[in-house]
Structure 1
Amino acid sequence: MAKSKKQFAVIGLGRFGGSVCKELYEMGHEVLAIDKDEDRVSEYVAYSTHAMQVDTTDENAMKQIGIGNFEHVVVAIGDNIQASILTTLVLKEMNVPTVWVKAQNNYHHKVLEKIGADLVVHPESDMGRRIAHNLASEKVIDFIDLSDEYSIVELRATGKVDQKTLVDLNVRAKYGVTILAMKRGEEMNISPMPDDLIHQGDMLVVMGHKLDINRFENEGL
């Protein structure tokens, strides 16, 4: 079955917004790229369905380009918090269903939430945390925070668990975490069975409380 094509608008074509725009376009979606800077707009003509120079704080200008017809809009304005907030406000007042916004700091985050942003992201701090986790442990491949207390973490199996089954490890009883999937090379095993063998180097996708995952990483692997 062919992947359904979606329509996105990306506002702000700096490093973060530009990479989002390129990736969505390369995935086959329709992408409207928007920035106030004419040079940036020109740069992304080749990486978007349409690229336009627009003042996104101007509601009339936004109506003229039909931004209200988009279901998904990413606001990635990098260096102007006021413009980011006003743009988000315009989008929500125009009833755009899903608006994701890049935040510069916690104050910016709180304001964006109050005016209705559907998701607020901190790409720099999030990437910094991922790098810190990867540097601190050779076992951690990647992680996703589900909340302040719970995460999904990709861990690399060591020789300590080589040729052991999930029954042998008994991780849920011992550590309170759940192994959601196992990956070996290009083969992904979703919802592994209790008697599935783990090999050294396998990637284990683990979900649980952060303290429990940390304990499993240090004691179980």
Structure 2
Amino acid sequence: MKKNQYVVIGLGRFGASISKELIKLGYEVLGIDKDEEVVDELSSVLTHTVVADATDEEVLKSLGVRNFDCAVVAIGDDIQSSILAAIVLKDLGIKKVVAKALSELHGKVLNKLGVDRVIYPERDMGIRVAHQLVSPNLLDYIEISKEYTIVELSVPKNLCGFALRELDPRAKYGCSIVAINKQNGIIIAPTAGDVVNENDVMVIIGTNNQIDKFESEVIG
């Protein structure tokens, strides 16, 4: 089975980070940037790197970009170039186009252009850090919609030895523990009889209100 191929446009911190992680995961990555120095730095890491203007449709055509499964527009601070690159990629018929937005307005424009997924790295990271600051047991926070969230909560000392049937978050609070990360491995879809120990990590999904209630009443 052919592995997906990715093209990442803009190799600043965000684009470089995505590219390197995709390579680690075993995928092929073509990195494109106008800055020759940046491209040189990543030439030995990525599958292919090219110094090019990604707003030029003929250039992207010549690179065979339309044959890639997914394109990521990770252009740093040039909103105009980001929008133009997204337009060109959509016109070329790439299956999936993902783009970084620098602001809500930028994101709205990208959505109007038909970009498949818009990412707000600075905003989303700010939200996650804020939640971590106010909740010492919260290890990670991912908003999956306006209502639903996935969180990772560290099990405190007072819950050590409790079985999930005793916590019963689904019946009492409406949220669900979908995994427990233990020192010796992770339990996916744990059963009512599974026991949590101090410093285990519970992965919980639910609405913001459900998780807040569970955290305040159970985690403390």
Output the TM-score relative to the length of structure 2: 0.96
* Total equivalences in the alignment: 219
Partners of 1:26 and 1:156 in 2: how far apart?
A: 28
SS at match of 1:46: coil
Report the alpha carbon displacement of residue 5 of structure 1 after superposing the two structures with TM.
Answer: 3.0
Which of 128, 151, 156 is matched with 2:149 structurally? 151
Which structure 1 residue ranges, 5 or more long, are not aligned? none
Identity of aligned residues (%): 45
Which structure 2 residue ranges, 5 or more long, are not aligned? none
Partners of 1:18 and 1:166 in 2: how far apart?
A: 41
Q: Which residue of 1 aligns with 2:163?
A: 165
Q: Which residue of 2 aligns with 1:98?
A: 96
Decide whether the 8 Å contact of 2:96 with 2:116 is kept in 1. yes
1:191 corresponds to which letter in structure 2?
Answer: A
1:66 corresponds to which letter in structure 2?
Answer: G
1:131 corresponds to which letter in structure 2?
Answer: V
Paired residues for 1:75-94 under 5 Å? 75-94=73-92
Note the aligned Cα RMSD (angstroms).
1.3
Q: Which residue of 2 aligns with 1:211?
A: 209
Partners of 1:146 and 1:61 in 2: how far apart?
A: 36
Q: Deviations over 1:150-169 (max 9, x none)?
A: 10111111122111111111
2:134 corresponds to which letter in structure 1?
Answer: A
Deviating beyond 2 angstroms after TM superposition, the runs of 4 or more aligned structure 1 residues are 3-6
Worse-superposed segment, 77-86 or 3-12: 3-12
SS at match of 2:44: helix
Partners of 1:191 and 1:78 in 2: how far apart?
A: 39
Q: Deviations over 1:196-217 (max 9, x none)?
A: 1111111111110101101111
Q: Which residue of 2 aligns with 1:175?
A: 173
Partners of 1:47 and 1:186 in 2: how far apart?
A: 32
Report the alpha carbon displacement of residue 26 of structure 1 after superposing the two structures with TM.
Answer: 2.4
Paired residues for 1:53-202 under 5 Å? 53-202=51-200
